[in-house]
Amino acid sequence: MTPRRAIWAAAALPLLFIGYLFLYPLIRILWLGISELQLADLLAERRIARVAWFTLWQAAASTGLTLLLAAPLTWAVSRYEFPGRRLAQALVIVPFVLPTVVVGTAFAALGWRDSVWAILAAHVFYNVAVVVRTVGGMWARLDRKVEEAAATLGASPWRVFRTVTLPILRPAIIAAASIVFLFTFTSFGTVLILGGFRYSTIEVEIYRQAVTLFDLPMAAALSIGQMVAVTTLLAVYARRQERTASPLVLAPEASTRRRPEGRTAWAVAVSVVATLTALFVPPAVLVYRAAADGGFRRLFVDEPVLGRPLDAVPTSLSFAVAATAVAVVVGMCAAYVISRRGSRLSQVFDVVLMLPLGTSAVTIGFGFLIALDWPIDLRATVALVPLAHALVAVPFVVRATVPLMRSIHPSVREAAAMLGASPGRVFRYIDLPIVARAALVGAGFAFVVSLGEFGATAFIARPNTVTIPVMIFRLLGRPGLGNFAAAMALATVLGAVTAAAIMIMDRFRSTDLGTF
């Protein structure tokens, strides 16, 4: 087999996967929304207008609050060297990797339900890491000489920040704000748990129209509107980044950080301790209340209709293993194609395979519900859930492995081919050993994504395919302290399994890519 044929052979599986599980359902949604529902019907719905307005303003408020409340910690870990700085940077990531149903249940454990403030607080909780990492990465490399020059000329600290530091950080701030806005605009699990149908975002309303009211055309029209809004936001963000980006000479991080002294040391300590304490209060209360209210015992009790809550754990784990296996196989094939620079096919793949990340999980689940009945009906099979999870997880495998595959010098492959090795043999003995660790990291991400996925699963889960997030949501929807305690305990189990998977994955992470 020639190298060109090998590339097309490797591309066949990802093309079939993304075509059938993503593009085809998307086309069915577009057709259903356009053919069976007039735009006037959508605009005439007063509730839809209120939902759209609430989605927009809560995302804007969540973004503003996140930027504001994350600023002190970002300043502290970016500009100063102090004991525990690396630990603080690591701990702030923990809320971000927690599944949304765990976050929602944690804030429900605090007594915050049916409240806009609960939704905003939860959004800030798991998005602080985005600001710390995105803005802090640039702030940590900002040369202090620029700020010191302005101070020497008589500018006050506030004026230095406003006229020198802030303009330089503006591209990073816009990037962080755009990511947070997109996450909160398409928020589903957290809003559904803390706000219910009273405080519906577009995501929640799609679920309500399709699952509760069985109005599939309205759900399809809302999905189309959301896709248009997200696409517009991404286009505006890209254009804004292009306008604000400017070439900078950044200094090594070690040279920009100093030991805090005097009042600055106290300010750094307060910023770090206060922010981390606020971030860990909800999970701590969740664990405490789950234990105090007997939630862990309730996991072994057969509930009417729902069954035993603990049975969702092996179901989720088996789905996560299956989804990870599918994501790794499809992602490695796609990475093999994308890593071949100069190919039009690689450029198309690089864009198409990222589309599921820019599409809401609710839209993906809704698409599965209305489309995957041809040529065989997958909707009643257990394969549907891991396939949905794998669709969302494939981009993580691709992003983890492509940089290493691209770092392999073409002459190495050419030398092996000249010695008679087939493309498959070249991949097995050259590419695979180099990218194996990166593939394990991608597999870890896929596993974690599958464990916590709720948006798509809420549409397609059946009584015999109930995952942990779906079971938590169903327990929260039933009256009684016992059901609430069981939901908190199950959320604690999910958070612990997710944290364990992240720690195991981190052991395989390698920052030294090198050149091969």
Please write the tens of the pLDDT for every residue from 282-308: 999 999 999 999 999 999 998 877 889
Residues near 140 by beta carbon (within 8 Å), at least 6 away in sequence = 77, 78, 79, 253, 256, 257
Region 216-239 average pLDDT: 80
The reply to whether 405 falls in a domain is yes
Residue 254 lies in a domain: no
Q: Residue 286 falls within a domain, yes or no? A: yes
Class of residue 291 by CB neighbours under 10 A (exposed 0-12, middle 13-18, buried 19+): middle
What's the structural domain count of the chain? 2
The Cα-based distances of 322 to 1, 64, 382, 422, 493 in angstroms read 30, 39, 11, 30, 20
CA distances from 442 to 400, 433, 446 (A): 5, 15, 6
pLDDT reported for residue 513:
40
What share of the chain has pLDDT > 90, as a percent?
39
Q: Which residues pair with 80 in a beta bridge?
A: 258
- pLDDT of 424 reads 73
Pair 287, 323 in one domain: no
Please check the confidence at residue 171 and state whether its pLDDT lies above 90. Answer: no
* DSSP states along 148-183: HHHHHTT--HHHHIIIIIHHHHHHHHHHHHHHHHHH
> How far is the C-alpha of 114 from the C-alpha of 161, rounded, in Å?
39
The pTM (predicted TM-score) of the whole model is 0.84
* One domain for residues 136 and 119: yes
Check the CA dihedral 507-443-7-354 and report its sign: negative
Q: What does the mean pLDDT of the chain come to?
A: 85
Selection from 235, 260, 410 nearest residue 340 by Cα? 410
Name residue, tokens 């949501």. 473
Preceding peptide of 375 cis, ω within 30°: yes
- Both 315 and 230 in one domain: the answer is no
CATH of the domain at 342: 1.10.3720.10
Quote the percentage of the chain above a pLDDT of 70: 90
Within-domain flag for 253 = no
Judge whether residue 512 has pLDDT over 60: no
Tell me phi and psi for residue 510, to 5 degrees.
-130, 125
- Residue 361 and residue 278 share a domain: no
Does residue 399 carry a pLDDT above 50?
A: yes
* Residues 353 and 370 placed together within one structural domain of the fold: yes
Between the alpha carbon of residue 63 and those of residues 171, 173, 176, 226, the distances in Å are 15, 11, 9, 18
- At 105 the pLDDT is 93
The whole-number pLDDT of residue 329 equals 93
- Pair (60, 180) in one structural domain: yes
Residue 242 lies in a domain: yes
365 in the same domain as 222: no
- In the numeric block, which tokens belong to residue 244? 């604000």
Helix (H, G, I), strand (E, B), or coil: what is residue 513? coil
Q: Are 101 and 452 in contact, with CB atoms under 8 Å apart? A: yes
Mean pLDDT lowest among 135-149, 190-204, 321-335: 135-149
Min mean pLDDT across 223-227, 251-255, 348-352, 442-446 is at 251-255
Is the confidence at residue 383, as pLDDT, over 50? yes
3-state SS, residue 52: helix
Closest to 435 in 3D by CA, of 322, 323, 321, 331: 331
Is 351's pLDDT higher than 80? no
pLDDT for residue 370 is more than 50: yes
pLDDT at position 259 is 87
Mean pLDDT, range 83-96, rounded to an integer: 86
Is the domain of 457 the same as that of 414?
Answer: yes
Domain membership of residue 103 as a residue range: 37-248+261-292
Torsion, CA 91, CA 97, CA 103, CA 106, rounded to 10: -40
pLDDT for 511 equals 45
Residue 46 has pLDDT above 70, yes or no: yes
Whole-number pLDDT of residue 238: 63
For residue 515, pLDDT beyond 60: no
List alpha helices for 305-383, DSSP H: 312-338, 344-352, 355-358, 361-371
**Dist. CA 116–CA 191, nearest whole Å:** 9
Which residue, of 239, 271, 292, is where some domain finishes? 292
Residue 111 and residue 21 share a domain: no
Q: Are residues 320 and 285 in the same domain?
A: no
297, part of any domain: no
pLDDT one-digit tens code per residue, 235-262:
776 666 555 555 554 555 555 678 888 8
Q: How far is CA 399 from the centre of its chain?
A: 14
Residues 504 and 453 in one domain: yes
Cβ-proximal residues to 501 (8 Å cutoff; 6+ apart), any chain: 444, 447, 448, 451
| Domain membership flag for residue 489 | yes
Place of tokens 């609710």: 362
Greater model confidence, 57 or 335: 57
Q: Are residues 19 and 56 in the same domain?
A: no
Residue pair 66/124 in contact by the 8 Å Cβ criterion: yes
Least confident of 90-99, 227-236, 433-442: 227-236
Q: Has residue 256 been placed in a domain?
A: no
Check residue 499 and give its pLDDT: 82
Residue-level pLDDT at 56: 94
